[in-house]
Amino acid sequence: MEKHIQTTASDNTTLSEQELKLLDAYWRACNYLAAGMIYLQDNPLLRRPLETGHIKKRLLGHWGSSPGFLDLVVNKSPQVTRIYLPPDVNCLLSTADHCLRSHDDINVIVCDKQSHMQYLDMESAIKHCGKGIGIWSWASNDQGVEPDVVMVGCGDIPTKEALAANALLRQDFPELKIRFISVIDLFRMTQNSEPPHGLSDSDFDSLFTLDKPIIFNFHGYPWLIHRLAYRRTNHHNLHVRGYVEQCNINTPTELAIDNHIDRYSLAIDVINRIPKLKVAGAHAKQLFKDCKIECKIYAHENGVDSPEINNWV
C-alpha cells in the first residue's frame, strides 16, 4: 500500500476513492497503535476481548505539561508572577486558597492528579506554605550542628524521591547529618532585591549553608534553579536534578531513573560529593545501582512499578 500511494503521489494524480480509504485505514491503525501504547498495559492488538485489567492504572511516559512553561513564566515580571510546587494535598489546598484570594497575580500551581503521600497536617501545611520554603525537622537529623549535605525537594515526585533517598542514606550511614528542605514558592530561591518575595541572603545562607553540597531535586529543567540562584553564596555547591528530556512510554520510576531524579541516583550523588563516603560508600553505591536495574526490569516485565517503591515507609 505504501509503495502504491508513493507512486501515485509522485505522478501528481488525484487519489482514487479506494486509495483514500486505504490511506484513512493506515492512519487510523497508526493512531490506534499509538493510543494503545499509552493507555493499554496488555492486549494492545485486541486479539482478546478488552478487559479492565488491560488498561493502565495511570498514563505513563510524559512529564505533564512541558517543563519549559515554568521557564516562560520566570521570564515575566516577578512583581506579578508566582510559581508554586506543593508536595502534598494539604499544601496544595493551602496554596490554592492563597491563590484564589490573591489579586493582580499570575499564579502557577504545579501538581499531579495521582494520589501521593501526605507529609504535613493542615496546620503545618499552612505554616510551611506561608513561608514558601523551610526545613522539615522530622526529615532532618542535623539539629544543633552543621549538616554534611542539604537535600531539597521541589515538586511532588521530586520530594517523595528525595525523602526516600534521605531514608536510604540514614539507614546505611547513621552518622551522616542531613538537612531536608522543602521548596514550594519557587521565587524564594531568588534574592529579595529582585521579586518582593525572594529570600534574603542571610536567610538563604542559613538554610543552604555556606559550603556544604546541596542536592536539589526539581520538577522542571535543572538550569532554571541555577538561573534563579546564581548569585547565592553557595551556588557552586548547588547540584540540581530535574527533567533532561529523557521520556518514553514507561512507568513513573523508570521516568525518574532516566532523568536521574530517583532515590537511588540521589543517594549515589550524595555519596559522590561527601569526601568521607567516597570510599566507605562503595558497597552502598553498588547496591543502589543494582536497585535501579531491578526497578527497570520489574517495570518492563509487569508494566507497573514495584510496590516497594511507593510503600517504602
pTM metric for this prediction: 0.81
Any bridge partners for residue 241, and if so which? 217
Within 10 A of 310 (CB to CB), how many other CB atoms are there? 15
Return the minimum-mean-pLDDT range out of 2-16, 190-204, 235-249: 2-16
Average pLDDT, the chain: 88
- For the cut 80, the answer to whether the pLDDT of residue 312 exceeds it is no
Q: Which of 182, 167, 209 is nearest to 311 (CA)?
A: 167
Q: How far is CA 275 from CA 42, 103, 162, 246, in A?
A: 47, 49, 20, 30
**pLDDT at residue 8 in the model:** 46
Amino acid at the residue 248: N
The 3-state secondary structure of 195-212 reads CCCCECHHHHHHHHCCCC
First vs last C-alpha separation in the chain: 55
Any bridge partners for residue 150, and if so which? 179, 214
Any bridge partners for residue 180, and if so which? 151
Q: Which of 172, 125, 193 is nearest to 283 (CA)?
A: 172
Q: What is the pLDDT of residues 185-221, one digit of tens each?
A: 999 999 887 667 899 999 999 999 999 999 999 999 9
- Phi, psi (5° rounding) for residue 192? -70, -5
Residue with cell 484570594: 101
Q: Which residues 6+ apart lie within 8 Å of 95 measured at CB? A: 84, 86, 109, 129, 184
The mean pLDDT of 279-300, rounded to a whole number, is 94
> What is the distance of C-alpha 284 from the center of its chain?
24
> Taking a C-beta distance cutoff of 8 angstroms, is the pair 186, 85 a contact?
yes
Within 10 A of 64 (CB to CB), how many other CB atoms are there? 14
Q: Apex CA 311: angle with CA 132 and CA 218, to 5°? A: 35
Any bridge partners for residue 178, and if so which? 149
Q: How far apart are CA 154 and CA 259, in angstroms?
A: 15
H or E stretch including 101?
helix 89-101
- For the cut 70, the answer to whether the pLDDT of residue 171 exceeds it is yes
pLDDT band at 61 (very low <50, low <70, confident <90, very high): very low
Q: What is the pLDDT of residues 91-131, one digit of tens each?
A: 999 999 999 999 888 999 998 777 788 999 999 999 999 99
H or E stretch including 178?
strand 178-183
